[in-house]
Each structure stands twice: as C-alpha cells, then as structure tokens.
Amino acid sequence: MIRLGIISGQMIRANLDGMTQLPARTVPDLTGYLTHAGHVLETQLSAALAEVGLTLRMQCVLRHALEAERTQIQIAELAYLDKTTMVVTVDALEKAGYAERKPSTTDRRARIIAVTEAGAAIAAEGQQIVDRVHAEALDALTAAQRKTFVESVTTLVDGPLATPVTAQPVRRSRQRTA
C-alpha cells in the first residue's frame, strides 16, 4: 500500500510495507526529458548521416571549420569534444579528403582545420540531412507549438542553461535498450 505524506517539508510517497520512500516530483523531470530527446535525436542524426558516410561529429567539425578560421582546440570547444575525440575525428576527415590541418594565418604556432571543396560539399549535404531530421521531429508539433517550443528552448539555452556549472565530471549514462 502506498501513502502520500510530508516529511521535513518534502512530499513523499511511502510504501507502508516499509520498503521504500519515493519523493514526489514537484516539477517535471526536465533533465530526463531533454536527455532522452537529445539522445534520440543524436541516434536519428547518426543513422541519417551515415548514409552519406559522415558521423555527427564529422558534420559538427566541418560546420564549425567552415564558419571561420579556427584551430582544432577552438572547434573542439564549440563541438563539446575532448581532445582525443577531436584528433580522431579530424584524422577521419583528412583520410576522407574533407579537411586538412594547415598553419594559421594569424598565429604561426597554431594549426587550423581547413575544409576542402569535397568537405564543403559533403557538409552542405550533411546540413540538409540535419535540417530534415530536425524538421521531422518538429513536425510532431503544430506550427504554434513549434514556435513556442523553439522560442522556449532558445530562452533556456541562451539564459539559465547557457553555461555549465563546474563540478565533478558528469558521466553519460549507459544507453537504454528498448
């Protein structure tokens, strides 16, 4: 039997058999919703980009490299990639003929990621795929819901969720199986 009550000012659900006490949620599980939605979108994007031989990381690096002359470290920060993953990704882009490491025009010690013509073409194709996957996800909403949703997420990402808090490292949880 489950009973609701308040202990130390917090609403809880208590199993009267004495087995568990589960605190009741007072607001929706925003972390859970956003983490799940992000994970599902990443898997959908990865599958779609794989059809043209790209990974999500490769697409992200190409896009950031096309925006401006940037070093590998700068792109890694923008793409939320650690150094090792960034090196592996750029190695794969170079092997495919999509990018190359070149000396920076402003800092002779730095190397930038330069996108080749083939890389620019595949990045454009990849962007069409990304846009299609995002549009398919948003198509589940009405036009009014889409506008509100995008504005709301943008407000959160540009405001209170703009900067991570420095704390102990956050580990990604294992992938759930359906």
- pLDDT value of residue 107: 86
23 DSSP β-pair partners = 12
- pLDDT value of residue 141: 97
Residue of 56, 60, 58, 61 lying closest to 40 (CA atoms): 56
Q: What are the start-end ranges of the H helices in the chain?
A: 30-50, 56-67, 72-78, 83-96, 117-138, 143-158
- pLDDT value of residue 136: 97
The amino acid sitting at 50 is A
Contacts of 128 (CB under 8 A, 6+ apart): none
Give the three-state DSSP class for 80: coil
Angle between helices 117-138 and 56-67 (to 10 degrees): 120
CA distance 16 to 151: 44
- pLDDT value of residue 173: 65
Give the three-state DSSP class for 131: helix
* Cβ atoms of residues 62 and 82 within 8 Å: no
Strands laid side by side in the 21-23 sheet: 2-7, 10-15, 21-23
Q: What secondary structure letter does DSSP report for 68?
A: S
14 DSSP β-pair partners = 3, 21
Extract the residue ranges of the chain whose pLDDT is less than 50: none
Q: Can you list the domains of the chain with their CATH numbers? A: 28-158 (1.10.10.10)
- pLDDT value of residue 106: 86
